[in-house]
């Protein structure tokens, strides 16, 4: 009888020991860590190329241009304070220019351009008048293509900082141009003036967030003239229509 009980007990003890070893092994094991390859860091040339592609392909955007020191050449005889606008590819723009002059005080000049047709009025209640596009000092129609074509002209570009601009980290790229290189953006730019250019490009999305143009573009620009263009709201719907001038 004792022999039978011992025979039964021995396999039971062996099974219990094996179960204990399996439990210890299971508790002590950890899943193998998973690793992901970091995205390769882009070169400056690749960053500028992607930025150029984004500029050339956006459908709409809003922008602001500020004469930071108010030393730029006169805008229709007045001191330019600020420009606010919206653009729609390929050829539409709505621009409001804040100016100041002894004759008018503070005033808003409004310009609407669609295709080859543009109108301007000098105050909120003034009538709309036809405006030849070549008389507008700044060409914001087709802004995306204009800025995209400008990027390859930047000389000696270099990444100089990462800064928070436009709600997130942006790569700052500094370089130089000559004033005549800006003639597609600033239509009556004079020649022969060296320009310092700074670009702020979204670190993740490679969208151009702002651009600073430091130096004389026009012969009449004062010393230390600096213009800052801020871009935002890419691909947000806008409604740009030519004004009704039938009345």
Q: Which domains does the chain have, with CATH numbers?
A: 44-232 (2.50.20.20)
Angle (CA) 168 173 176, round 5°: 150
- Predicted model pTM: 0.81
53-88 burial: b if 16+ Cβ within 10 Å, else e: ebbeebebbbbebbbeeeebbebbebbbbebbbbbb
Q: In angstroms, what is the C-alpha Rg of the chain?
A: 32
| Residue with tokens 């021995």, as numbered in its chain | 10
pLDDT tens string for the chain (247 positions)? Answer: 444 444 444 444 444 444 443 443 444 445 555 554 445 678 999 999 999 999 999 999 999 999 999 999 988 788 889 999 999 998 999 999 999 988 778 889 999 999 889 999 988 788 999 998 777 778 888 899 999 999 999 999 999 999 999 989 999 999 999 999 999 998 889 999 999 999 999 999 999 999 999 999 999 999 999 999 999 999 999 999 999 886 5
């Amino acid at each position: 009888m004792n022999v039978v009980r011992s025979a039964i007990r021995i396999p039971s003890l062996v099974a219990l020991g094996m179960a204990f070893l399996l439990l210890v092994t299971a508790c002590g094991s950890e899943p193998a860590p998973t690793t992901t390859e970091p995205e390769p860091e882009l070169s400056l040339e690749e960053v500028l190329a992607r930025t150029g592609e984004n500029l050339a392909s956006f459908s709409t955007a809003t922008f602001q241009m500020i004469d930071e020191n108010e030393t730029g050449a006169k805008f229709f005889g007045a001191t330019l304070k600020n420009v606010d606008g919206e653009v729609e590819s390929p050829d539409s723009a709505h621009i409001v220019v804040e100016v100041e002059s002894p004759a008018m005080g503070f005033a808003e000049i409004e310009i609407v351009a669609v295709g080859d047709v543009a109108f301007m009025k000098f105050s909120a209640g003034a009538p709309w008048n036809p405006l030849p596009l070549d008389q507008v000092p700044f060409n914001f129609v087709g802004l995306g293509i204009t800025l995209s074509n400008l990027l390859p002209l930047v000389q000696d570009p270099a990444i100089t900082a990462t800064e928070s601009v436009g709600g997130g980290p942006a790569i700052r790229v500094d370089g130089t141009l000559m004033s005549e290189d800006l003639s597609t953006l600033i239509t009556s730019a004079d020649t022969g003036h060296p320009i310092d250019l700074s670009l702020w490009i979204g670190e993740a999305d490679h969208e151009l967030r702002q651009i600073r143009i430091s130096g004389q573009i026009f012969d009449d620009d004062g010393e230390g003239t600096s213009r800052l263009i801020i871009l935002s709201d890419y691909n947000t719907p806008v409604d740009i229509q030519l004004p009704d001038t039938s009345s």
